[in-house]
Amino acid sequence: MSATMRCGSLLLKTAFFCSMVGFLPTATAKEGMWVPATLKSREADMKANGLEIPVEHLYNENGTGLNNAIVLFGKGCTGELISSKGLLLTNHHCGYGTVQGLSSKEHDYFAAGFWAKSMQEELPCPGLTVTFVRKMENVTDKILFGIADTLSEMGRDSLISVRIKNLERGFKFASGYDANIKPYYNGNQYWVALTETFRDIRLVGFPPNGIGSFGGDADNWMFPRHTGDFSMFRIYSNKANKPADYSKDNKPYNPQQFFTINTSGYKEGDFTMVYGFPAYTNEYISSYQLNQVLNITDPVRISVRTVRLNIWKEHMQNDRAVFLKYTSKRAGVANGWKKWQGEVRGLENNGVLGLKQDYEKLFQAWAAKDETVPYADELVSQIGARSLAVNELLKADEYIKEAVYGVELISQGAALDKILQLYRTGKANTDTLTKLADSWNGFYRNYDAATDKDVFMALMPMYFDKCEGYIPGAFTRQYAEQGSDYAKWADYVFSSPAADAAKLRQLALSGNPADTLKILGDPVWQLYTGVSNYRKYHVLPVLSKYNEDMAYLNRLYMNAQMKLDRSKAFYPDANFTLRLTYGNVKGIDPDGPAPYAFQTNLDEAVAKHNPGVEEFNMPQKLRDLYQAKDYGRWAVNGTVPIAFTAVNHTSGGNSGSPVLNAKGQLIGTNFDRVWEGTMSDLYFDPRVCRNITLDVRYTLFIIEKFGGAGWLLKEMKIVQK
């Protein structure tokens, strides 16, 4: 039993003992997203857990740190350099959007994959960037000098924004790099990152969906996992090895550092690290805010999306055309839906709400005894009062976002409103109206009114039932006018031209100002503007004020925790900045004493092949390699390892992150978490929180044997020791 569980269950009898050792366990090797520039303070713990290199090899300011081999890939993933010629590895799903833009009917890279046979065949990726962090520096003293902790957020933000802008400008002038200053610890610290962004990125390798997204939505957030979730790109630079726009004259970038690849494998218990750009976590929030997640926002999202997804699924199964329209949308909606279920399950199974409440009792005891933080005494009660006051409105707004805007046609009411605004502003000429109509093509290409109508009939009763007192007048009025009959109401709403691409285009291009009267009387426009104005005038001002108040109180609460809880090693919440986390290879079984196997393999993947289910349809060539046992040097015990789990604290944004061994060598690419541990954005429990990694040996096997791109391996540094 952990220290947390002991203290939590015996709080009343052992409060003094718990206050001495710290109610929540100190951050260990299995928890924490550490700022690379602070790793020296973690070196003893890292080495005790298995690190074999100095932490200066992981990060330093002289260009030799492995931070120079990590990139922010695009706007939301991580990538790593694996050769001296700018070759970059990330996840398949991180490259998905870029590859979609490069694909066509003639070149369907999702079905066939893409493998450049030489650098000359690599494909330019317009708009894609990668960003290196060259240096990080704590600038808290420069940002917060002379600013009292208790200064209001409005006054504080005004001062801080000016200081940030001036300091960023100074850093850029002095260093030649871009400078980005961000808050840490809820605004109690500020760090600057000096960065370099490259703009000429080219596609090198991309497995087909039958490998790169094998298992699809069914296996998402799950383990065992058999997904070859990787893609490869190359960074190009000008002749001076500096960032440049695309040019045929550019050359492969020569990086300051790149990762050595270790293919000797690993065993359970081995030390691992994940290096990258985790997105967002909230590890230090109060029980009141956790309650909002656990009992309001997550349950609303889950319940509404369950209904919506079931309707989509039924229509998709009955009509292949609907399937093709909704398969990508369904995956996007289902991703959060599945994650939130795991999050709720983990929070409930671990009694995290109770643990938070117990910690707050200890915090109050510390605050009462310590006079150096006078504002701490009332913090928890103030947070509670403000949170409880908005819970019902928060729930209503969540239903609006999920149930009301979840009806695609209501959201598309924005199109009608844009036509109206063009007429009102005198800009409704042929050119602007044509451009507006053309902008809707993407929506209608992937829209089915019959499917959406069934969603409307299912979600409106849910919204009316759950949000009494928070329903815009346009909704109650239309419902009453249609005899309080949801089916009749649906017929009326879906008679709008907005439900039909051709009719809406005709309305837009008619150029008749009198049509504005039609729009004003249109049921979809009335619902869209009704709910939008309701949120604008009745919901968002209250929630915005609440969020402003909570930013202030959470900053003080974080400040007070760091001052009063002397037993805990605090790390800042994720904020899309460079971090390193470390732990060990480990399996999981949350429901029994026997752990899952911590590693999966090709034999298991082939057994899941199902040509009748798109996400489990494995390419014939891969199955041929399996039948022939043609694994080359990547064979391990008669198969090829695919994925493994470890206890590393990761989040969104860590997709594509390098997973390293004790020597700082690449052994895999991070791509997911297990469903049971998705609560790690709010509470990390090493018993059930696991990151899932694609074994680099499977990556190399696919590149060489399946992709026929063995030439790429020649530029990598591959070791077996």
**Per-residue pLDDT for 469 more than 50?**
yes
CA 189 to centroid of chain Cα atoms: 24
Q: In Å, how far are 429, 443, 531 from 420, measured between CA atoms?
A: 12, 19, 17
Query: Does 22 score more than 80 pLDDT?
Result: no
CA distance 467 to 260: 56
> Taking residues 519-529, what's their average pLDDT?
97
pLDDT value of position 24: 39
Q: Are 404 and 532 in contact (CB under 8 A)?
A: no
Q: In this model, does residue 18 exceed pLDDT 50?
A: no
pLDDT of 144 reads 96
User: What percent of the chain has a predicted confidence (pLDDT) above 90?
Assistant: 84
Read off the DSSP letter of residue 55. G
Q: What is the mean pLDDT of the chain?
A: 93
Q: What is the pLDDT of residues 52-65, one digit of tens each?
A: 999 999 999 999 99
| pLDDT reported for residue 97 | 87
pLDDT at 20: 31
pLDDT of 214 higher than 50 = yes
Tell me which residue of 370, 421, 390, 427 sits closest to 529, measured CA to CA. 421
Average pLDDT over residues 452-457: 98
Quote the pLDDT of residue 591.
66
Residue 16 has pLDDT above 50, yes or no: no
Find the mean pLDDT for residues 38-57. 96
CA end-to-end span of the chain: 37
Active site residues: 93, 229, 655
Angstrom CA distances, 298 to 99, 295, 344, 643, stand at 32, 7, 7, 29
Q: What percent of the chain has pLDDT over 70?
A: 95
Say whether pLDDT at 27 is over 50. no
Q: What is the pLDDT of residue 567?
A: 86
> What is the pLDDT confidence band of residue 1, given thresholds at 50, 70 and 90?
very low
Name residue 558's amino acid. Answer: M
521 CB-contact burial (10 Å; exposed 0-12 / middle 13-18 / buried 19+): exposed
Torsion of CA 297, 299, 305, 309, to 10 degrees: 150
pLDDT for res 29 = 53
Q: What is the pLDDT of residues 233-243, one digit of tens each?
A: 999 999 999 99
Give the CATH fold of the 36-129+199-281+577-719 domain: Thrombin, subunit H (2.40.10)
| Residue 452: band (very low, low, confident or very high) from pLDDT cuts 50, 70, 90 | very high
Distance (Å) of CA 647 to CA 53, 593, 675: 20, 17, 14
Nearest Cα to Cα of residue 537 among 422, 411, 397, 408: 397
Domain extents in the chain? 36-129+199-281+577-719, 133-197, 287-553
pLDDT at residue 590 in the model: 65
Of 108 and 69, the structure prediction assigns the larger pLDDT to 69
Least confident piece of the model among 251-265, 413-427, 529-543: 413-427
Residue at token pair 């969540």: 398
pLDDT in tens, 284-343: 999 999 999 999 999 999 999 999 999 999 999 999 889 888 877 888 899 899 999 999
Structure confidence at residue 328 (pLDDT): 77
pLDDT higher than 90, residue 593: no
**For the segment 130-158, what is each residue's pLDDT rounded down to a tens digit?**
999 999 999 999 999 999 888 888 889 99
Backbone phi, then psi, for 249, in 5-degree steps? -85, -10
Residue 229 and residue 615 in contact, taking contact as beta carbons nearer than 8 Å: no
Q: Within 10 Å of residue 514's Cβ, how many Cβ atoms?
A: 8
